[in-house]
Amino acid sequence: MVKHLNTPLTEEDVIELRAGDIVSLSGSILIARDAAHKRLTESISSGGKEPFPIKGEIIFYAGPAPTPPGEVIGPIGPTTSGRMDPYTPFLLERGLRGMIGKGKRNKEVLDAIKKHCAVYFGATGGTAVLLARSVISVEKVAYEDLGPEAVLRLGIKGMPLVVLADCYGGDIYVSGPEETVKLVQNNNV
């Protein structure tokens, strides 16, 4: 069953989510990856103001392909989230509500997700054209000089996602394979 959700996600929305849930997300999200995370964190840590409010936002770790004529955006799939781990607990502390990416997170991030009632969504790697289809608008937000790594705001409608890690410590990368192994063993008996 698919859970339909709209941004901004509230704490009430997030506590309903469990690892493994299939979600269709609509509303607005930010795109930021390696260089933007580094600059954002450094600028806030050194006493600067947030270049855009982080509280309540969802960040998609992605670097889209160029936009062909007649399209809203080029293919856009998740990049490996682990590279953003060093910056993530800091952003969660400042109210970041969710992330969209792929791959394992470290313990600090998983703990911070629990502590700050956040959620880590996955978009399936290798479905970039399908994901681009759910993007209805693109707007520049900050760090335009970073080129393909600039911060963008996307308007989205029905983006297909999976809950990878929930606010209870649930992690599909642990429970999914465990469940499969159990299923296979039981069938063999």
Partner 1 sequence: MSGRHEIEASEITEMVYELSLKANRILPEGIKKIIRDARDREKMPLAKQAFSDILENADLAEEKRMPICQDCGLAVVFVDVGQDLCVKGGSIEDAINEGIRRAYTEGYLRKSVVKDPLFRRENSGDNTPAVIHWKVCTGGDIRLTVSPKGMGSENMSRIYMLKPADGAEGVIKSVVETVKIAGPNPCPPIVLGIGIGGNFETVALAAKRALLKPEGVRHNIPEYADMEREILVRVNALGIGPGGYGGVTTALDAHIETLPTHIAGMPLAVNICCHALRHAEGTIEGRLSNG
Binding site for partner 1 (CB under 8 A): 20, 22, 62-68, 71, 74-77, 79-80, 82, 102-104, 122, 124-130, 132-133, 147-148, 160, 162, 172-173, 175-181, 183-184
**Nearest distance, CB of residue 55 and partner 1, angstroms:** 28
Tokens of 115: 């502590």
Bridge-based pairing state of the strands 22-31 and 58-60: parallel
Beta strand extents in 12-134 (DSSP E only): 22-31, 58-60, 98-101, 119-122
Neighbour tally for 61: CB within 10 Å: 25
- Closer of 87 and 120 to partner 1 (Cβ): 120
Burial annotation 129-147 (CB, 10 A radius, 16+ → b, else e): eebbbbbeeeeeebbeebe
- Closer of 90 and 173 to partner 1 (Cβ): 173
- Closer of 117 and 146 to partner 1 (Cβ): 146
**Nearest distance, CB of residue 25 and partner 1, angstroms:** 15
- Determine if the peptide bond prior to 66 is cis (ω within 30°): no
- Closer of 44 and 136 to partner 1 (Cβ): 136
**Nearest distance, CB of residue 114 and partner 1, angstroms:** 20
> What's the CA angle centered on 71, arms 68 and 77, to 5 degrees?
80
CB neighbours of 38 closer than 8 A, spacing ≥ 6? 87
**Nearest distance, CB of residue 184 and partner 1, angstroms:** 7
**Nearest distance, CB of residue 65 and partner 1, angstroms:** 4
- Closer of 47 and 69 to partner 1 (Cβ): 69
Bridge-based pairing state of the strands 22-31 and 151-165: antiparallel
- Closer of 63 and 95 to partner 1 (Cβ): 63
**Nearest distance, CB of residue 56 and partner 1, angstroms:** 26
